Structure 1
Amino acid sequence: MANKYPGVAARGMETVQLLNSHTTKWRVKVDWNEAGLAAGLPANLCLKANWSGSFDNVDIHAVEARFYHFLASEMKVPTANCYYADWDDDGSAHGLLVLEDLNDRGGHFGHSTQHSGVDMIASNLEGLAGLHASLWGSEKISKANAPWLQTQMDTPVDSDQVRIMWQWIADNLNDPNFRAIAPKHYLDDPRRVERAFDRLGELERAYDAPYCIALGDCHQGNTYILPGGERLWLDWQLVRRGRPWRDLTYFLVGSLTIEERRAHHRDLLKQYLSYLTETGVPGIPSFEEIWEQTRLWVMYGIQAWVANHDSWGQNGLPMNERFFAAGEELGTWKILLGE
């Protein structure tokens, strides 16, 4: 911390809570010296890194640290206050964040299966549109100016996600509860998800549209609801130079019950389009194009949740039900596999 705040030192530190999932979240209480107090460093902090021993074959930790260091201040939506971000450039892809302890904000963390209701989700779309508009078409996120920022579906952590996560997909395929809700055509040929996801990547890489910042893992469990109801967007480990349809589809299909999606999906997409248009960014596609992109991007949610383990903190079965239903009803499998 003294690299950024000269003279700062911790006189003592105690553990408040330690959480290990994809990454380690270590809530601590720090007794700062006078320099730390003068710098305004809070006593309650959350350290985030990979001390769990899991997922050491991907670079998500360094990516998130770079986001907070280089781009978080550019976002026009709330993000967690970051007091320090650093990473290793030795190929290990390790990163470390020193974040505020959001519990001090007086709100609450979101959860993937929280029933927020259509009205709240509609309101949250304004923030999501603001997130995407923040650096829409900006040279700041170009390959020349942000070479560390990976392009959506054009980096192994995206394009090889099914293969990276296959051992957890295989575990779920042996779970009777999972098998009870999965489509028969998928159970008969589980590698269909790999082929469909590969095709989604091909289509995205060929797609011609402005780039923006995409959160990448945009479900309710990666948000914090402020006391006034606004969402603070968390977990930038999969942040990408991308297009918004991955975030938009993942958030909407995952946040709504199946019945809510059937009744309100198109209207909510139109609401998002209205919010995005109000920001004044150029090159926004038509509603019809957004709808077609949404039908494709349901596959991102399918492949993500078939690999989920409840021990990571998010309940998988309700999310699998929502994405499986959307995939059947919106024709996602048929479009991507040509069947």
Structure 2
Amino acid sequence: MGIPHGPEDVTAAWLGSVLDADVREVEVTAIGTGQTGATYRVSATYGTPQAGLPDSFAVKLSAQDDAVRERVALGYRSEVEFYSQIAPSMRIPVPQSFHSDISADGADVVLLLGDMAPAVQGDQIAGCTEKEAALAVEALAGLHGPSWCDAQWMDLAAIAMPKPGDDDAAKGLGDISKMAADIVIDRLGERISGADQETLIASMASVTPWLKAEPKRFALMHGDYRLDNMLFDPDRTRITVVDWQTVGIGLPGRDLAYFTGTSLEPDLRSAVERDLVRRYHQALLGYGITDYDADTCWQDYRLGAVQVPLLVALGTAFASTTDRGDDMMLAMLSRGCQAIRELDTLELINSYQQT
């Protein structure tokens, strides 16, 4: 029956057709206020009992703003590709996918996923606890481990970041990053400390050599692995990772450092990051990885911290913003820049250039 354009198109007939089920009624309610898409909870009433089908789903549609839909079409393709081609081979906990479809131009999309209620979204501005962080880093190994240095994933069509070994793309992103840093400081500089401005500018000037530092060690990346993209069960014993619009391939430590650098307050991060990296490394070994020692993992983690200002700068400079969005980006930038300084990340990048 086609791709629903808006919630009014998510009817009992449409849901029944994609599920091949006898759906008599649906109730559609909005979830959140996503800027790049629209998510709704769909409660279904069946005419006859349906084995294996839940009573409630989450449906993700394109943004209702045509300009936004065109701008983030690659992200829509990435998420459909993840659920249809990648997720079945991974072990990271994600919602079950019941149906997906996307238009030829990528601007119209639908994803019908399992409803994870009563799980609740992490709070990016408030930050997370050590217990939540442990769940997140162990879950992340379920993406990196199964895809570790596996070249088959290089053939994916909807990759958001430069692939390892693509020097031209690395230079292009480096040039864009320096431009983004200038835009961010021009817009929000009065709210960014002098030290963080210096770290932001230096980090964005290092993006090209940073991307080229470890091309032979790669895995699939979430790309935006942070609290707002995680759902936690109320008792904090289970995590579900969502929002797969930025799937990439690159140094796995980038996801890890981006999570800790954006989602933990600096004092907590510095106190627990060694243990979190150890947890992540131990989880990776459970996927049969034998040629990756703990010291190299720690170095990759240090190197990966540039992922924080990179995504903050690109998101702030080139995406639509809100007051909460600015507050969130500033909190993430401040945390990430402090992590870069404490981990001596820029000095590490320089050491690659000198060898």
* TM-score bracket relative to the smaller structure: 0.7 to 0.9
Normalising by structure 1, we get a TM-score of: 0.79
Match of 2:122 in 1: 110
Aligned counterpart in structure 1 of residue 259 of structure 2, from 228, 241, 251: 251
Quick check: 1:303 aligned with 2:310?
yes
C-alpha distance in 1, partners of 2:235/2:25? 36
- Matching residue within 128, 137, 143 for 1:125: 137
Deviation at 1:149, TM superposition (A): 5.2
In the TM superposition, residue 2 of structure 1 has moved relative to its aligned partner by 6.0
Partner of 1:180: 193
Residue of structure 2 aligned with 1:142, choices 153, 175, 186: 153
Residue 71 of structure 1 is matched in structure 2 by: 86
Shift of 1:287: 2.4
Which deviations, in whole Å up to 9, do the C-alpha atoms of 1:115-150 show, x marking residues without a partner? Answer: 4333442343222222322333456x434xx53253
Distance 2:75 2:327 in 1: 19
Check if 1:203 corresponds to 2:203: no
TM-score normalised to structure 2 length: 0.76
Equivalent-residue separation in structure 1 for 2:324 and 2:79 (angstroms): 22
C-alpha distance 221-181 of structure 1, shift in aligned 2 (>3 A): farther
Shift of the alpha carbon at 1:67?
Answer: 0.9
Q: Paired residue for 2:115?
A: 101
2:301 corresponds to: 294
Residue of structure 1 in register with 2:58 after alignment = 45
Amino acid of the structure 1 residue aligned with 2:159: Q
The RMSD of aligned alpha carbons is 3.5
Q: CA deviation at 1:50?
A: 3.4
Amino acid at match of 2:303: L
Is residue 271 from structure 1 mapped to residue 279 from structure 2 by the alignment?
yes
Which range moves more in the overlay, 33-42 or 272-281? 33-42
TM-superposed CA distance for 1:216, in Å, is: 1.4
C-alpha distance 8-214 of structure 1, shift in aligned 2 (>3 A): farther
Unmatched segments (≥5 aa) in structure 1: none
Counterpart selection for 1:153 from 144, 162, 169: 162
Between the aligned partners of 1:238 and 1:118, the Cα distance in structure 2 is: 25
Tell me the secondary structure at the aligned position of residue 77 of structure 2. Answer: helix
Q: 1:56 aligns with which of 45, 66, 70?
A: 70
Q: Post-superposition shift, 1:157? A: 11
* Aligned CA distance change for structure 1 residues 271 and 29 (closer, same or farther; 3 Å): closer
Matching residue's letter, 2:33: L
Of 286-295 and 27-36, deviating more is: 27-36
* Residue 252 of structure 1: how far off its partner (Å): 1.8
Rate the CA distance shift 1:161–1:41 in 2: closer, same or farther, 3 A. Answer: farther
Residues 216-236 of structure 1 show CA distances to partners (whole Å, capped at 9, x for unaligned) of: 111111100023422111111
